[in-house]
Structure 1
Amino acid sequence: MAVGLCTAHVRAQEASAGGAVMVYSDSDNVTVISPRVSGRQTVAELQVDVAAGVDLVTAASVDLVTAASPKGFSEERWQVEARAGRQWAGGSALRGWYALSREPDFLSHQVGVGGGVELRDRHSLLGLGLVTDQSTVGHRYDPTYGRPRTGYSLQATWTEILGPETLFDLAYTAGRQQGMLASPYRFVRIYDPADGGQHRSAVAEAVPDARTRHGLVVGLRSRLLPRWFVLGQARGHSDDWGLLALSATLRMSFSLTPQWTIDAEMRLHGQGRAAFYRSAYATWPQAPAWRTADKELGPMRTWQGGLHVQWRPFGLRPPLVAAGLGADVVRFDYLDYQWLAGRTALVTLAHLTWEP
């Protein structure tokens, strides 16, 4: 569970509305269409945001066919959220929110609160946010099945003005999940090492019922030239399952005119494996206490690159209307997963926003 940027200051804005559609499609027969609408209104000195979206998922990947369903599945996943925040003249801000996510076999309630304060004549911004998540893990073929999952996350942020056109960002996150962390659909094959590695049985996935994570993010934002902006970011994550992940992001933004902006982004990600992850468990007739068929817990690397174009027909004059189109190519390489070596995805996004 990730903490949003709840510590960001509330932006002074009377009202706005927007909509977006994202489409994800990959070479492993997974397609997700995600329309989303949002709105913002300032009431007295309180800024209120609401948003709703749905993920229309169609999946028939080899991972699902081997581990869960012989025909894959199609489903809808709904999300709604509401946020409210206020900023004071001295530079301090407070924000809270609630989010509901519902799937045929999953229900999540998330509540968060965060705040920020400006120091050193507004040269430093410190923020703190806390999120709690109460979820129920179900099973699409068993309406009586329900297992609890709880989560807590803390995020501390620091933004420093290094110069007229440069910002430094530092963030630390800590999170803990407890309860049903395995997938009720995944079964792990047990092989016989004395019989040529023959498949002998399949048992339900079993992982520890608690997981603690830590993360650190370091970033730099700067204007290199009058119309060129750059963001560089490095992330590191680790957990008590033995998983370590590192990633780096570089984003360039170029303002062609007051109406047109082009963004280019590249992201690299690499991770090791959880301590109990194996591509094949050759332990027949015993099954290890912890076993998983989740490729996301194994060693992998990811490469992502994309372009985004935004058009403001009236420039920065009201009404502020912005329309955008973007596309990203993502490559996932699974370095020790017997069912799938990798997949390539295309992610497209179209959005429209309006501010009177």
Structure 2
Amino acid sequence: MNYDIFNGDADGIIALLQLRLANPIVSELVTGVKRDIQLLEKVAVRSGDSLTVLDISMEKNRGALLGALEVGAIVYYADHHRCGEIPVHQHLQAYIDLDANTCTALIIDKFLEGQFHLWAITAAFGDNLIAKANKLAEKAGLSQKQTEQLNELGTLINYNGYGSKTQDLHFHPADLYLALLKYPNPFDVIADADSPFYQLQSAYRQDMDKVLAIESCHRSANLSVFELPDSAWSRRISGVYGNYLANQEPDSAHGVLTDNNDGTYTVSLRAPLNNKQGAGDICSQFDTGGGRAAAAGINALAKTDLDRFIKTVKEFYT
């Protein structure tokens, strides 16, 4: 049995998209909302199964990974999040790059020697690697308009991945992946009036209008924090709003809190764009937290821990 296991954000979807455009196979898709990262646990692995695992932390999936290898599965693993110690096993191919200026789709792009390079650029935009994506677009000879189009497409695919459950999303990530698989070139998505691009574009604009009306609840020299209400639109916009804020004030960290209506917040933390380090380490100090150097999150931060979170972030970036 073949399993494609991937993060439901732009990076995970487009990483798999490139692989399957290059090498189509029949597989079972295993994915979910962006924060649903312990995906290996959802697979009942048997000997001889083939697992392609993309854009989910090896550290968070270590137990299930070791279990899969122990029963005789073959695992291809590509990621850029915290990995812990990478197991050495004859059935594991691991392509891990923790550089803050890369993403899983760019790792796959290198593996495929640029076969679907425009898709990789789209993913880099979606993962908020704006400077990197702009350089790649310029090197690829794209016009300013084309570059802006890939930026918007990547942002919209990423936007679709945020929510506490798949019902919050406009498309289930597996359905969005399958819809995009029809387009070897990302510009074909934009050219097709019936593609997911236009539905996501309209929804994104509505959610952004709502969030831009919210004032910060904390602001200091190196950190701004925004609290969003308990609602589906808040959960959808939280991550891309964090990216938006990071680009507006690149010398500051930004925290976006979404009220879970149970005494906790879902947290999206963005390191300063001009100092892309530490976000994953900060969030990992809190239960249910993790991520990478430039962007990380906490699934359930107790409201009583908010002051400690703010203090930790401010001290780190002072």
The structure where strand makes up a greater share of residues is 1
TM over 0.5, shorter chain:
no
Q: Which one has the bigger helix percentage?
A: 2
* TM value normalised by structure 1: 0.22
Larger radius of gyration: 1
